[in-house]
Amino acid sequence: MGFPARKRAASLLMKVSNFLIRKGIDSYLVGGYVRDALLGRATRDIDIAVAAPALEIAQRIAKALDGKYVPLDAANEIARVVLIEGELTQGERWHLDFSTIRGDIAANLSHRDFTIDAIAVNIRDLGVDYSAVHLIDPFQGQKDLEKGLIRVVSKTVFQDDPVRLLRAARLAAEYGFTIEDETEALIQSQSQLICRVAGERVREELCRLLSTSNAAHFLRYSDYLGLLTAIFPELTATKGVEQPKEHFWDVFHHSIETVAAIERLMSAKDLEYKDEILNLVPCSPTLIQHFNQEVASGVTRVTLLKLAALLHDIAKPQTKSLEPNGRARFLGHTKEGAEIAGNIMPRLRFSTKETKMVQRMIESHLRLWQMGGEGMPTRRAIYRYFRDTDEVGIDTIFLTLADYLATYGPNLDREDWQRCIQLTEYILSQREKERDIVTPPKLINGHDLINIFALEPSRQIGKLLEAVREAQAAGEITTREEALAFVQKRLATEEQKTV
């Protein structure tokens, strides 16, 4: 393999290299950037090991390149420079992570996680011809790259930093690599160490794994490694929990299959992908853009959708009951599941917004069927659905579809599935064609109710305004005069009830 570099990366590295050389500081490209460059993968994350205090160097680099300095680990002297604006980056976000070399570069590499990450390049060697760059590769990482193997550098790597346990699975998912047998056995024997890792670090690795197109497979593999239930102990109780006969899998495997179904649904956007089931799935540039939207740094809607899929039935074990005929019921599992997710996500340092989005998807994942009834839903029903699901209305629809696919598995009835898709297409088309259903224009406000009807500020005003919006969405009122008449009639009815 050669050592290529994108033009923008080469320009940026030359700036950093010149700065460090002028200061007489030995420095090396290490880790993920070298790995990705050797694989020909584009990346905007550059790891640099310096023979100097990394925090100080990062601050000076940030100032020189007009970037933002972010200390990551003061105790271990690791810092980040974030570059967004400027001629070098042209609006792209770049991360330069600086770490301090302890001893020489060989000693530094011996403390890294996997052989494919224990390759270095002396920054002084960087020139015009990157293919002639000398690789410092004491653990044969380049050979493992060529074989597609993830192998530990030493037997203590997971004890030194347990987040590497999950990183191994994440790297396998991202690169399509295989974890070497001895490394796999080491992960299984030390999997519980992941419980010691700070939530935000687990979150970062988990989200990167979920963002891959084959996350469901690696969730199963993570369970085999002993990691999944160590991260989500609440999932343990779902194993072996039987469901009604239409369900092909128990609760645990159904949950992972729902993630797989999300990935299957998302692949419908690939026009070259031929699938009898997927051909029916609605797909548009607007939907693709919606699911690719970034909710938080590095976390898209589809990543959160997969997390909601994994957790959507997590309360089924505790809500299970049997009817006289022996049929299992899980009454209230959506609400209780949302509450459990509300405990899990802050533990993993997800933001309040991310947590609420996942909670709302879990709590509402049966609403699609309740809305449809025997025929197509009314305007009022569609309004109520999007009002209650707020910004995750579309996401929840696709969670429901994935849940349906993962319920029946290979026993899916094609005609029933077609009816599900027809319902979905109707709701989405109504939402697009008649935006007034989702966000009806404001005809009256609280001041109108206070001034015209002599009402006191209270919860009653909010309830009346919501009733007006719902009537608008249903097409029952369209003007300010009709809205005021609607309120007057409603107040009169309420007054009669109190007499």
- Which of 208, 130, 200, 131 lies closest to 169 in space, CA to CA? 208
Q: What is the pLDDT along the chain (499 residues), one digit of tens a residue?
A: 445 555 667 778 888 888 998 889 999 999 899 999 899 888 888 999 999 999 999 999 999 888 999 998 888 889 999 987 655 566 678 889 999 998 889 999 999 999 999 999 998 887 655 566 789 999 999 999 999 999 999 999 999 999 999 999 999 999 999 999 999 999 999 999 999 999 999 999 999 999 999 999 999 999 999 999 999 999 999 999 999 999 999 999 999 999 999 999 988 655 444 566 777 787 778 888 999 999 987 799 999 999 999 999 999 999 999 999 889 999 999 999 999 999 999 999 999 999 999 999 999 999 998 886 667 898 888 888 998 998 999 999 999 999 999 999 999 999 999 999 999 999 988 877 766 566 777 888 888 888 888 888 888 888 888 888 888 877 788 888 888 988 888 888 877 666 5
CA dihedral of 417, 423, 428, 430, whole degrees rounded to 10:
160
d(CA 157, CA 230): 19
Say how many C-beta atoms besides its own lie within 10 A of residue 352's C-beta: 9
3-state DSSP call for residue 109?
A: helix
> CB neighbours of 3 closer than 8 A, spacing ≥ 6?
34, 37, 38, 121, 130, 131, 133, 135
3-state secondary structure of 8: helix
Q: Which amino acid is at 161?
A: D
Both tokens of residue 443?
Answer: 């005809």
In this structure, the dihedral spanned by the alpha carbons of residues 228, 233, 239 and 241, taken in order and rounded to 10 degrees, is -150
d(CA 149, CA 35): 12
Amino acid at 499: V
Q: Hey, what domains does the chain have and what are their CATH numbers?
A: 7-141 (3.30.460.10), 148-231 (1.10.110.30), 238-438 (1.10.3210), 446-498 (no CATH)
CA distance 357 to 235: 20
Q: What is the pLDDT of residue 292?
A: 93
β-sheet bridge partners, residue 27: 50
What's the rounded Cα separation, in Å, for the pair 234 and 256?
A: 14
Q: What pLDDT is attached to residue 268?
A: 67
Q: How far apart are CA 302 and CA 230, in angstroms?
A: 24
189-211 as b/e, with b when 16 or more CB fall inside 10 Å?
A: ebbebbeebebebbbbbbbbbbb
pLDDT at 174 (0 to 100): 96
